[in-house]
Structure 1
């Protein structure tokens, strides 16, 4: 089961975030397979890491930054992101990211 749930206007994406990473990266699944792994260099203060996560996902999906927002888990490493866009075009890109 993929770490996203399709919606009419996009999808909800489960992510596991590693803040303060030496090398930012996006891809692969968490060890339990329930979330997309994202490493960001930003610190988790004042929403900086959340903004970096949203920007990284938006860049990977070829969307504007405003199309990705934190839905749940703003203060946690496990988050759910709301991605607005065509779900039929977003799902294949996410498939490549988890491969």
Structure 2
């Protein structure tokens, strides 16, 4: 399965909710029924999984990783990122 293009969501100030699955078999971003799921191979410790999610999500959105700001869910599987201009 290829990474979906989420560029239609890449608007300044947009908030993007994702459901994270750490320790997955591979890195993957999928959109299922309006829910964005991000699978990362990284373990959820010291923010490593969150950093991996930001990297994958920025690639799928087509925006620089520095424009993604985590606004909710630093230690949760449900995270919300905002795209800053």
With normalisation by structure 1, the TM-score equals 0.68
Name the residue aligned to 1:28. 31
Name the residue aligned to 1:43. 43
The answer to which structure has the higher helix fraction is: 1
Native 8 Å contact 1:12 1:82 kept in 2: yes
Q: How many residues align?
A: 76
* Structure having the higher Rg: 1
Structure 2 CA distance for aligned equivalents of residues 84 and 35 of structure 1? 21
Name the residue aligned to 1:82. 82
SS at match of 2:50: helix
How far did residue 9 of structure 1 move? 2.9
How far did residue 34 of structure 1 move? 6.0
With normalisation by structure 2, the TM-score equals 0.79
How far did residue 75 of structure 1 move? 0.4
Unaligned 5+ residue runs, structure 1? 1-5, 86-99
Extract structure 1 runs of 4+ deviating beyond 2 A: none
